[in-house]
Structure 1
Amino acid sequence: MSQARESAARSVNHGLTLMYWQIGRLIIEDQQQGQQRASYGKALIKNLSTQLVAEYGENFSSRNLQLSRQFYQTFPNVNSVRSQLTWTHYKALVRVEDADKRAFYMAETEKNAWTVRQLERQINSLLYERLLMSQDKESVLTIARSEAKPTQAHQLIKDPMILEFLGLKPQASYYEQDLESAIITHIQEFLLELGNGFSFVARQKRILIDGDEFKIDLVFYNRLLQCFVLLDLKMDKITHQDLGQLQMYVNYYDRAIRESYENPTIGVLLCADKNDAVVRYTLPENNTHLFASKYQLHLPTEQQLMDEIRKELPDEDN
């Protein structure tokens, strides 16, 4: 019964989406004679909106008609309009100008059944740009479209991670347990930020090594990579000792916990700040399983992330 209701709801939503697409087509092709930027466009939409609102209601506001026109311009082929996405999803997507970026968010929304709020959060937190910092564009798009599965940790682990949903103020004085508690409270949002395939396993995981007790802050499992992912939280700038401790946790899980069919454990040091050179020289040159990722308690600007991406690119002058 519930499946029938969901199917009916999807059908209604898709019909509504196609209606707005048709309105956009009519505005462009019939009312504007195919001119995408007709000089009378704004007046036309205002007059058309007045007529439609009087007859059919507020769904035909000037803003929605403008979005309908933009919707048609962005998706001129009706076959590219996906039934899994609602009109509200498309209102968020048409604001993404770059075609590759838009294709990424469409594919991820379909694959992960993102709500509109989740989609907008991922767009605003610049998920696409953050993934580009660790891999090339084609890899990002291929994985998003499910044409390939991630096989390496760097394809999933983001740097930085954006944790604005925790509600912690950047200038506030708090401890690692405060950050940990906030993550647990907002575990659904944190799993969304971590990415595809993550599930929560344990908090303050107690391990004994020859009688000495240690506690791993957070333990996750990734079904795509088929491995454990250990998160250690640090409120300050990380040191080589912090990386060494995380390496010990990873070694313990690899030798005492993981099964033969599972892949090597991944360790992520989530920190407030880091010295990339210290990280680079502390870890082995062929390291693929230990990561130091900064967290931010506010949404970055696109320019900030683009500056970070440029730092990762080779110097063309050399």
Structure 2
Amino acid sequence: MEIQGGSNYLQAVQQIKTAILRSRYAAAALANKELLKLYFGIGQYVSFHSRNKNWGKGAIDSISNLLQQELHGLRGFSASNIKNMRAFYEEWEFMLPFLIDEKAPFFQFSEEELNRQIPSAELKNSNRQLPTGELENEFVAMFLKNGFTHHCTILSYAKNIEERIFYIQKTATEFWNNTTLKHHLKSDLYQRQGKLAHNFQTTLSENSFRQKALMAFKDEMLLDFINIEDADEEPNERVLENAIVQNIKKFIMALGSEFSFIGNQHRLIIEDEEYFIDLLFYNRKIQSLVAIELKKGKFKAEYVGKMNLYLSALDEMVKQPHENPSIGIILCKEKNNKIVEFAFRDTSKPMGVVTYKAYNDLPEAYKNILPDTEALKGLL
């Protein structure tokens, strides 16, 4: 039965749905902000009393147990998490003006106590490295968007202030969950971002697009889902491609943000001859097609000519008028930067060389984090 005025009702439903979701998001963001402030305040309180030896040994464990008795069903206040709150405060002590309301603090400290909590010289130096002015306000907003678990993860892996700011901004703007954040921390995205071996300087004339393109790629990818049984065996291109396609979500996570998978063995017909691009993606942020060629072993100069052909064909036959030039990425096990530089010197199409590490290349400490194949079978 057709509902009278159905189209109008559907429009109303969409409008109301949007309002509900917006309200939920605002409520969640506000709740997260208040939780961060609470944890920071508790961290300040615990830091003062535990570091100044006002409490005896095992005090935090006792306090955690007593809290459970006072507030049945209370979650998030285990002894280890209270220690995380203390670390959260101590590492971000210079954020005090933004996280604690002086007129209504969670905990009252005497004048003497406050004087004893002056930040150390090291923290003062860190404070000078924070963004200032409008950028400071933007950073504070991003800081408060991150959940406490994200903050703990960042503090565990990132040891300097610039690196922490980078991951806080990335997590807030690209909506990383904690698993994605850990992946980028382990693959050292901060150090690798923008360090791609490339020819963008000579092939991309628009500076803003060139900078965005450079930041879209890393110089090395961690493909820990590729596990070759024989550690000495080098996987051929088809084995590598199949492993990537079967784990395409993980590959996109390793590749970066805003990538959409178009397909593998993408067919191009040029003058009745067939050519196949190993992997074809589209990046929404830079609005470019991205062709990826998979190569085993070390980078070779002859790979560049074929990629140049693919990019010319994509730009003429596939690229839409509003899109930016197609970009090529040669993904291989090793590269010699000087050979890459000479190979790219007189090319006309934008491309770069990215190396990868598979599971077998990981240090033993990282391998042990993941269950082996037999263990996975047991779990499944």
Q: Distance in 2 between matches of 1:266 and 1:39?
A: 61
In the TM superposition, residue 169 of structure 1 has moved relative to its aligned partner by: 5.7
Q: Distance in 2 between matches of 1:211 and 1:194?
A: 33
What's the Cα RMSD here? Answer: 3.0
Task: Using structure 2 for the length normalisation, give the TM-score.
Answer: 0.66
Percent sequence identity over aligned pairs: 28
Name 2:70's counterpart in structure 1.
55
Name 1:165's counterpart in structure 2.
225
- Aligned 1:120-159 pairs, distance under 5 A: 120-131=182-193, 133-134=195-196, 151-159=211-219
119-128 vs 36-45, which moves further? 36-45
Question: Is the 8 Å Cα contact of residues 24 and 69 (structure 1) preserved in structure 2?
Answer: yes
217-226 vs 180-189, which moves further? 180-189
- Aligned 1:1-318 pairs, distance under 5 A: 3=21, 4-29=23-48, 31-32=49-50, 36=51, 38=53, 43-56=58-71, 57=74, 59-76=76-93, 77=95, 78-79=98-99, 80=140, 82-95=143-156, 96-131=158-193, 133-134=195-196, 151-168=211-228, 171=231, 172=233, 174-284=235-345, 289-298=350-359
**1:153 partner amino acid:** A
268-277 vs 80-89, which moves further? 80-89
Change (3 A) 1:210 1:37: farther
Question: Is the 8 Å Cα contact of residues 299 and 334 (structure 2) preserved in structure 1?
Answer: yes
Change (3 A) 1:149 1:60: farther
In the TM superposition, residue 184 of structure 1 has moved relative to its aligned partner by: 2.1
Change (3 A) 1:10 1:163: same
Q: How many pairs were matched up?
A: 285
In the TM superposition, residue 194 of structure 1 has moved relative to its aligned partner by: 1.8
Question: Is the 8 Å Cα contact of residues 149 and 224 (structure 1) preserved in structure 2?
Answer: no
Cα-to-partner distance string for 1:265-293 (whole Å, 9 max, x where unaligned): 11101012233332222212677711111
Q: Distance in 2 between matches of 1:286 and 1:5?
A: 51
Change (3 A) 1:149 1:69: farther
Cα-to-partner distance string for 1:83-134 (whole Å, 9 max, x where unaligned): 4322211221222221110111111111111111111111111110111635
Please list every run of 5 or more consecutive structure 2 residues that lacks an aligned counterpart in the other structure.
1-16, 100-139, 198-207, 364-380
Q: Distance in 2 between matches of 1:124 and 1:274?
A: 22
Change (3 A) 1:215 1:134: closer
Q: Distance in 2 between matches of 1:49 and 1:287?
A: 64
Change (3 A) 1:24 1:179: same
**1:48 partner amino acid:** I
Please list every run of 5 or more consecutive structure 1 residues that lacks an aligned counterpart in the other structure.
136-147, 302-318
* Larger CA Rg, structure 1 vs 2: 2
